[in-house]
Chain A
Amino acid sequence: MQRMFILIVGCGRVGSAVAKRALDAGHDVSVMDRNPLSHERLDRDQISTWEDAGGRFTVGTALEIDGLIEAGIEQADVFLAATSGDNTNLVIAQVAQRRFEVPRVVVRVSDPARAAWYSQQGLQTICPTQVAIDQAELVVMAEQG
């Protein structure tokens, strides 16, 4: 396996879960969130603390470039924007792509319309709402049997 440096902005359900899995898989992982209490999600149900397991955590606002640099964006191979704000995610993903030239940039966008437009513009978007719509559609309209 190629060991990668993964930077995740937003330590919510998605960000923290992906961070833990990536660290378990042997990657270098740095997480950034504006709320210091979100760190708790990284330690929950783990044998050792996030830092002892080798993870990094930075408190900072995603739009502030200094915070992104402190969290290691200049070395990142992968950047995941997973804060609760669609617009924040879309802006910092473009900053990661254009200013820091991170090779792989992934951005979570809740609004299907914005996700569709920005994926046409060349961003790799993940839209949980669209996934839920597609799955619900399948289940709701499944043939009775």
Chain B
Amino acid sequence: MAMYVIIAGGGKVGWNLARELIARDCEVTLIESNHDRFRAIEEELEHSVQFGDASEIWVLERAGIQRADLVVAVTGDDEDNILICQMAKDKYDCQRIVARANNPRNLPTFRLLGIQPAVSATDLILRLIEHEVPEYGLVHLLALEEEHLEIIEFEVPAAAEAAGKRVQDLDLPDGALVISIIRGTSGFVPKADTVIEVADTVMLILDPGLEAEVSLQFTPSSAAA
């Protein structure tokens, strides 16, 4: 049976998302509160868009939230997105939600109120920028927030503490572990006596908060001082 998706907010994200989901045979209701915008969307999506404020209970019920398989809140207001998802989850028992965080600084509030996953385009772009222009070669690869773990990688510069050392001789804090080394084009899992070379990419898994301490091993000594 087709998945029924309610999308709150007919901005660029909401409208494009609705179009793509319809093309994938989902049943979609998009809710937009600006009347001019609603009329423009209606020309294309016809009955798949409804006019109204998606944080109003009767608007959500008119859209059939009771039978929604997924609720996506992508309005321009983070508090609206939080409220819509919270009601979808707690009031209508909708198991799957996706929320947009316009301001990445609000992500902790989404987390606090159990609104997961929350997606922030700004945050994603920031991470891509970090990946392209890493500070001292540190790249955040993955943050496993529920599990309190993160995976990061470093490119080893010539003057780094770690260059020329065996993995077992690295001065790493408890809670940090080297899990992989990429040398040239191939990666491998190191042993305790593997020697780290300049220009290696070293991947570590660690408890949150250890980054600064771990960085000391992979930054030029002058920068570490």
Which A residues contact B (CB, under 8 angstroms)? Answer: 63-65, 85-88, 90-92, 94-95, 98-99, 111, 113-114, 117, 121
Contacts and interface: CB of A to CB of B under 8 A. Distances in A.
B142 interface: no
A113 B78 CA distance: 20
A142 B80 CA distance: 39
A99 B58 CA distance: 30
Contacts of A90: 79, 83
Nearest to A114: B57
Classify the secondary structure of A's interface with B: helix
Nearest to A120: B91
B112 A86 contact: no
Given A63-B109, A65-B109, A87-B77, 9 more contacts: A65-B105, A65-B108, A87-B79, A90-B79, A91-B78, A91-B109, A95-B112, A117-B57, A117-B87
B82 interface: yes
Contacts of A65: 105, 108-109
A99 B112 contact: yes
Contacts of A86: 55
Nearest to B109: A95
Contacts of A85: 79
Ranked nearest first, the 8 interchain pairs of A and B with the lowest CB-CB distance are: A87-B79, A113-B57, A87-B83, A91-B79, A88-B79, A87-B80, A91-B82, A87-B55
Contacts of A114: 55-57, 83
Contacts of A98: 112-113
B56 A94 contact: no
Given A86-B55, A113-B57, A113-B58, A63 B112 contact: no
